[in-house]
Amino acid sequence: MIEIRGLKKAFGPRVALDGVVLDIEAGERVLLVGPNGAGKTTLLRILATLSRPTGGAVRVWGHDVTRADVAIRRMIGFLSHESLLYDDLTARQNLRFYARMYGMDKPDARIASLLSAVGLERRADDLVREFSRGMQQRLAVARAVLHAPKLLLLDEPYTGLDVAAADALTVLLQTLTQVGCTLLMTTHYPAQEGHLAQRVIVMRRGRVLDDGPLGELTTLDARYRAILARPAPVSPPPAALAAVDWRGKEL
């Protein structure tokens, strides 16, 4: 489903992604971990077609993400650090708006089901500006999965959730993955949130340090710390970040 070859992204002198190479199969459940500044969010934004690479290439279902059309975007669900909700609309109105954006026909039953799944059915007609941070996060999750995406990109989805809400989110994500949804999720706490994953990718300073099966959750934290204890990779100067096409030819 996802093919990444030599992916680079720079913001002026700062290198966010430095030659990332990854393949993710349809239906895989992948946990993306790493310290702040590792490039996790930047990678997800590029996959979501919201940011363009500086170099390298990224394909989703064989399509170049820099040329992705509406049909491809409708297959992707994205949860970022920003809720992308409208404060002056109710929870139900927000989901109806996004349902129209995704071209969904008669979405009310789906909306009601998701509001119940995230525990907001009693607040469905309240304005989002009246919601707590955790409630907004729950509604943002419902927004991201509203159209039953085939690829779900989640940037620290458990942030701000209490225990009951976190459990409800886990059940919701398990339901999606059981019907073949591909999941790529970032976290700072792999041992706590790794129960959804099959595979763990560790990033640091824009590079992949480790990529392998999940293994035992009880030993995941120690494994993660040991990987981060390795000497940090050194990025080349920004001038070396030449753009290349899918065949690796410099542009």
β-strands 151-155, 182-187 pairing: parallel
**Residue-number span of the structural domain to which 96 is assigned:** 85-143
In a domain, 194, yes or no: no
In this predicted model, what pLDDT tens digit does every residue of 85-98 receive, in sequence order? 999 999 999 999 99
**What tens digit of pLDDT does each residue of 15-26 get?**
999 999 999 999
What's the mean pLDDT when you consider all of the chain? 88
Our count of domains for the chain comes to 1
126 belongs to a structural domain: yes
pLDDT at 231 over 90: no
pTM as predicted? 0.87
Beta bridge partners of 22: 4
Q: Is residue 69 part of a domain?
A: no
**Whether 131 contacts 175, CB under 8 Å:** no
**Each residue of 121-149: pLDDT tens digit?**
999 999 999 999 999 999 999 999 999 99
In a domain, 30, yes or no: no
**Is residue 153 a part of any domain in this protein?**
no
pLDDT band at 241 (very low <50, low <70, confident <90, very high): very low
Query: What pLDDT shows up at residue 190?
Result: 80
Whether 50 maps to a domain, the answer reads no
Provide CB contacts within 8 A for 61, sequence distance 6+: 1, 72, 75
| Assigned domain for 241 exists | no
Length of the chain: 251
Rounded to an integer, what distance in angstroms lies between the CA atom of residue 217 and that of residue 229? 19
In a domain, 14, yes or no: no
